[in-house]
Amino acid sequence: MLEEKEIIEKIESKREKWNPQRQGIRIRILFIGESPPRQAPQRFFYQETAILYRATRKAFIQKFKEIPEDKFLHFFKKLGCYLYDLFKTPGKKVNKVRRTELINAMKQLDDFVQKKREKNEIDAIIVVLMRVYNELKKQGLIDKWRNKGIKIFSLPFPIGGFYRIYVRGLKSILNNLIEQNIIKRDEVNKIIEQIKKE
């Protein structure tokens, strides 16, 4: 049985592998989740085994049909997308932690966003899970980020009946980001051609 520290290290190592900045790509679209699944690291977005991964991949592939299914994370990274979890410990929930822990986690997230924004990164944020969005709103972070010119969106977590709502909602957000020129069609085509050759 792995210790919590080892589990977190494995999760973060996997996440870092898919950080766009490792290839000199700026983070443009930041997905914010609550925490890795309780079964992480076996079940995790960047392990290609979590429901959030499957729903996200489905929305992107429905929108950009040429993405090879087995190379979705390559596309996600090259487009400048990155998943940040509010809590590093698997299974943690915003409504089940001490207020001080929640405030501290949100401060770390805000610092992350501010530093990236200073380097002209993060054009859009997609918050997954309404209770996370509501907490960020309550703390004034949603308005603060909007005032810095970041486009903010929220989606329900894709479980049960919300799976289709998430997929439809994410496709709508992708359309919006194309209209706002945050995602450029010619760049998408170029990335798809690149990953097909890899």
Mean of pLDDT values over 11-19: 95
The letter for the amino acid at 153 is: F
pLDDT the model gives residue 86: 97
pLDDT the model gives residue 128: 97
Mean of pLDDT values over 14-25: 95
Q: Are 131 and 117 in contact (CB under 8 A)?
A: no
Q: What angle do CA 45, 49, 52 make, to 5 degrees?
A: 45
Mean of pLDDT values over 4-25: 94
Q: What angle do CA 123, 126, 127 make, to 5 degrees?
A: 135
Q: What angle do CA 8, 10, 53 make, to 5 degrees?
A: 90
pLDDT the model gives residue 1: 55
Tell me: the pLDDT tens digits for 158-195?
999 999 999 999 999 999 999 999 999 999 999 999 99
pLDDT the model gives residue 2: 66
Q: Give the domain extent around 14.
A: 4-197
Mean of pLDDT values over 23-50: 93
Q: What are 171's two structure tokens?
A: 């496709």
Q: What percent of the chain has pLDDT over 70?
A: 99
Predicted TM-score of the model (pTM): 0.96
Given a cut of 70, whether residue 16 has pLDDT beyond it is yes
Number of domains within the chain = 1
Report the sign of the C-alpha dihedral through residues 167, 168, 171, 176, in that order. negative
Q: What are 192's two structure tokens?
A: 């798809």
Helix H or strand E encompassing 32:
strand 29-33
The Cα 73–Cα 82 span in angstroms is 10
pLDDT the model gives residue 197: 86
Which CATH number goes with the domain that contains 12?
3.40.470.10
Q: What is the DSSP string of 149-197?
A: T-EEEEE---STTHHHHHHHHHHHHHHHHHHTTSS-HHHHHHHHHHHHH
Tell me: the pLDDT tens digits for 44-96?
999 999 999 999 999 999 999 999 999 999 999 999 999 999 999 999 999 99
